[in-house]
Amino acid sequence: MVRQNDLKNKNELTWVSWNNNVQHGYTHHHTIKKETELTNIIRHTSGKVRVYGSKQSSADIAAGTDSLIDMRRYDQIISVDDFKKQITVQSGITLKTLITTIQSRGWSLPCLPDIDTVTLGGALSTGTHGTGRDGKLLSEYMVSCRMVMADGSVRKIQKGEELMDAARVSLGLLGIFSEITLQCEPVYTLHLKEQPMHDDQWLAEYDDLLENNDFTRILWMPHTDHGYVILGNKIDPDTPVKHNPGPDYLKHRRAVSRMLYKYTTKFPFLTTIANKIIYKLFFTSKKESKGTLYDATVTKSRSGTLELAEWTIAKSRFDACFRELKAALDNKNNAAYVHIPMDIRFVKEDNSWLSYAYGEDCVTVGCVTRDASSADDYKAFEVVEEIFLKHGGRPHWGKRFEAKDAELSKLYPKWEDFKSLRAELDPEGKFLNPYLTELLDVKKVAKNKNRAA
């Protein structure tokens, strides 16, 4: 996969993603603080334009156009409705600022990703999600928004309108999220218990675990036959809980993993040994704690970058898909030496056109390399994609995958509707970069339209 576009033609300035793996030249750059600035730029830009947030997507979706708009200073809280527990914010706000603000009011967003440095606009656009029995994509908590359209006009979109179902997860292709109103819920305290479990056991029990716990997350570890199962249940905040964070050295897990996997880049077969060491050191002790969903489960700092892929599969097809995945990744004869852990999470069905959970509850499975610079040679991305595609799995929009229109059109019942709506709302393709053009096969849409005419 080409991760850098032709920089020599545009040697003025370079946009670089957080892990350096996506780089693009550009000619015009804008930082906005007001909606009117956003509408004016969009209205008066004759060429193509993309907006970006924290640049933390692995997919090439945030730049690649001559004009770029940085949304990160468009980050204010606009209003709070205490009666409805709703908050309206500008879309460049980070999840950290958003969640600490609502938590200080005694509210929560009940399903959170494992990162808080991303912007709300970026997170919504890519279908960012967490896990839980009732957990949904973050964008499902959006009850209304103001969207800046390709002609620079602003449309207010409300929950219940069909356009909202299309817009919730739309990669900035239908318009740019400006102000967003989110429905919050009362904050709650989770009692978390974490322990290793043999693959045979968690595979037999995950449905019951999901049903019987408010929070379920499984960190799966190829080459060890184990997953590390994290379960959480809501408790009264005053309930005493024996705090057991495990041995002190656990805090070095990411740094040790990075060091070990650095060597396995040169000698991939050593990954099996590295995985066993990391499992033994960091995933065999039991832990217990309590805290809010945000305080107790979201990672607040990372020692370095990653390159991420993530695939999702309808819960009804997870078993078959996972068994094939495990067989492939554990097989010593394949070159897909995958870094641990692989994050398994659960998301509730919804109606958003490009949601992974459109029409069916789904299970998500992460795949990362801790050495982002060698991501192009990381075979596991290919093996995982091949297996998930075979089982009808859907890729995370913000992460790395190769599938394009031909495959995606089979996976999303509303794919063609989304493409038609995009062409109607943005007929000049103002919000398209080369990657997104190929992803949607936009030329084909134009050709089909001509044929129909």
Ligand X SMILES: Cc1cc2nc3c(=O)[nH]c(=O)nc-3n(C[C@H](O)[C@H](O)[C@H](O)COP(=O)(O)OP(=O)(O)OC[C@H]3O[C@@H](n4cnc5c(N)ncnc54)[C@H](O)[C@@H]3O)c2cc1C
Q: Is residue 109 at the binding interface for ligand X, with CB under 6 A as the rule?
A: no
Q: Is residue 411 at the binding interface for ligand X, with CB under 6 A as the rule?
A: no
What is the DSSP secondary-structure string of 361-422?
-EEEEEEEES-GGGGGG-HHHHHHHHHHHHTT-EE-TTS-----HHHHHHH-TTHHHHHHHH
Span near ligand X by CB under 6 A; candidates 57-65, 235-243, 259-267, 330-338:
57-65
**Long-range CB contacts (within 8 A, 24+) of 200-208:** 200/225, 202/227, 202/229, 203/319, 203/322
Span near ligand X by CB under 6 A; candidates 53-61, 209-217, 278-286, 385-393:
53-61
Q: Which is nearer to ligand X, 184 or 308 (CB)?
A: 308
User: In the range 75-94, which residues lie near ligand X by CB under 6 A?
Assistant: 91
- Which single residue brings its beta carbon nearest to ligand X? 122
Q: Which is nearer to ligand X, 36 or 201 (CB)?
A: 36
Instruction: Indicate the residue type of 446.
Output: A
Span near ligand X by CB under 6 A; candidates 5-13, 24-32, 278-286, 302-310:
302-310
Residue with tokens 């156009």: 65
User: Do 90 and 75 form a contact (C-beta atoms < 8 A)?
Assistant: yes
User: In the range 183-222, which residues lie near ligand X by CB under 6 A?
Assistant: none
Shortest distance, position 21 Cβ to ligand X, whole Å: 11
Q: Which is nearer to ligand X, 208 or 376 (CB)?
A: 376
Residue with tokens 């094939």: 324
Q: Is residue 123 at the binding interface for ligand X, with CB under 6 A as the rule?
A: yes
Q: Is residue 119 at the binding interface for ligand X, with CB under 6 A as the rule?
A: yes
Q: Which is nearer to ligand X, 334 or 437 (CB)?
A: 437
Q: Which is nearer to ligand X, 324 or 361 (CB)?
A: 361
Count, residues near ligand X per rule CB under 6 A = 33
Q: Is residue 398 at the binding interface for ligand X, with CB under 6 A as the rule?
A: yes
Token pair of 415 as six digits = 């794919």
Shortest distance, position 333 Cβ to ligand X, whole Å: 31
Q: Is residue 64 at the binding interface for ligand X, with CB under 6 A as the rule?
A: no
Dihedral, CA atoms, 87, 89, 95, 99, nearest 10 degrees? -30
List Cβ neighbours of 62 (8 Å cut-off, separation of 6 or more): 17, 22, 50, 51, 52, 53, 55, 122
Separation CA 403–CA 322 (nearest Å): 20
Q: Which is nearer to ligand X, 13 or 327 (CB)?
A: 13
Q: Is residue 126 at the binding interface for ligand X, with CB under 6 A as the rule?
A: yes
DSSP 4: B
User: In the range 357-396, which residues lie near ligand X by CB under 6 A?
Assistant: 396
User: Do 219 and 228 form a contact (C-beta atoms < 8 A)?
Assistant: yes
Separation CA 414–CA 187 (nearest Å): 34
Neighbours of 420 (CB within 10 A): 13
Residue ranges that bind ligand X, judged by CB under 6 A: 50-57, 61-62, 71, 91, 113-115, 118-119, 121-123, 125-126, 128-129, 171-172, 176-177, 302, 306, 308, 396, 398
